[in-house]
Amino acid sequence: MQSRISIIIAGPTAVGKTDVACRVAKKFGCEIISADARQIYRGMVIGTAAPLNPPIRHHLVGILNPSDRCTAAWWAQRAAEVMEGIREREKMALVVGGTGLYIRALVEGIFPGPGEDMEFRAELQKRADAGENLHAELEIVDPIAAEQIHPNNLVRIIRALEVYHITGEPLSKQFAQTIPIAENWQFLKFFLTRPREELYRRINGRTHHMLQNGWIEETKRLLDSGVSVSSPGMEAIGYKEIVRYFRGELDKRELYEIISQKTRNYAKRQLTWFRHRPGYEEMNVKELGVEEVANRIIASYNELKRVCG
């Protein structure tokens, strides 16, 4: 039976996590758990860069409808279950992604949050639809949560404001009362980086490639299938901008520039997030190269396993 040791490969979008993860997975015969808040939705393969028919088994990809709400707690509980299943198959679980809240919930536990106030939530949704900046409101009542939640992530902004409304305490304070999710597991945590200018070039290039290779058509299929623009899945960067393109509010050049800019901003927030989390070993993929990064991760795992017996 495999030891309860899992490797986490985290980092900003377009940094090269998949290339490194595939090399590590092939070495150890891993199965990959996607820690991506948008890849979890069905029908959003191109816009979320989700794996399509990958040679390595992936979990928590394309399992929810875009209309479903996914929380960090729900994801962490599913991930822990998947990890145990992978271990029973005598394989290693490799967690790969850039959604810091999900990874934190898995590694550090979840807080016993309050229930829902659907009336309050509906009112917040109306205000957001009317153009109000709920993220700015969150910055006032809970600046720590606002720093950690992307301004485009309306679902999590609403939840944070809802928690404050119900409890009178900020969401960030609630995290102090956590419940372990994977307390019997050890995690080797790695954070991949690149020089910012190069990372931004990679983001720009990937955005162009995605728009040229079916992202617009994918969005149309989602809308035609009945997916609402206000669905949680459609909060992923790019989809609402493509809807604006359909409405004639943006031309293709403007569409590309806005999505690229929002993605770069998101990557910057991811960099900040992981650099402030404890226990991550940072590796610069540009300086070391993909192969060397993978080799160092493999060596770290082998050393931990040797020490643990």
Which tens digit of pLDDT belongs to each residue from 118-146?
A: 889 889 999 998 999 999 999 999 998 88
Q: Based on the fold, state whether residues 56 and 183 are members of the same structural domain.
A: yes
CATH number, domain with residue 148: 1.10.20.140
Look at residue 172 in the predicted model and tell me its pLDDT.
73
Q: Based on the fold, state whether residues 31 and 134 are members of the same structural domain.
A: no
Q: Based on the fold, state whether residues 145 and 209 are members of the same structural domain.
A: no
Q: Based on the fold, state whether residues 73 and 217 are members of the same structural domain.
A: yes
CATH number, domain with residue 223: 3.40.50.300
Domain that holds residue 138: 118-174
Q: Based on the fold, state whether residues 186 and 80 are members of the same structural domain.
A: yes
Q: Based on the fold, state whether residues 144 and 55 are members of the same structural domain.
A: no
Low-confidence residues in the chain, pLDDT < 70 = 1, 112-113, 174-177, 309
Q: Based on the fold, state whether residues 135 and 236 are members of the same structural domain.
A: no
d(CA 21, CA 30): 9
Phi and psi, residue 29, nearest 5°: 70, 40
Q: Based on the fold, state whether residues 104 and 122 are members of the same structural domain.
A: no
Listing DSSP states for 113-167 in one string gives -----HHHHHHHHHHHHTT--HHHHHHHH-HHHHHHS-TT-HHHHHHHHHHHHHH
Number of domains in the chain: 2
d(CA 65, CA 205): 28
Helix (H, G, I), strand (E, B) or coil at 284: strand
Look at residue 176 in the predicted model and tell me its pLDDT.
61
Q: How many CB atoms lie under 10 A from the CB of residue 272?
A: 13
Indicate the residue among 146, 174, 202 that finishes a domain: 174
Residue length, the chain? 309
Q: Based on the fold, state whether residues 85 and 227 are members of the same structural domain.
A: yes
Which tokens in the block code for residue 77? 């509980």
Q: Based on the fold, state whether residues 127 and 267 are members of the same structural domain.
A: no
Q: How many CB atoms lie under 10 A from the CB of residue 225?
A: 11
Question: Taken in order 192, 66, 205, 20, is the CA torsion positive or negative?
Answer: positive
d(CA 68, CA 61): 14
Which tokens in the block code for residue 263? 């993605």
User: Considering just the CA atoms, what is the radius of gyration of the chain in Å?
Assistant: 19
Q: Based on the fold, state whether residues 133 and 279 are members of the same structural domain.
A: no
Which tens digit of pLDDT belongs to each residue from 1-27?
A: 677 899 999 999 999 999 999 999 999
Q: Based on the fold, state whether residues 143 and 221 are members of the same structural domain.
A: no
Look at residue 112 in the predicted model and tell me its pLDDT.
65
Indicate the residue among 129, 149, 174 that finishes a domain: 174
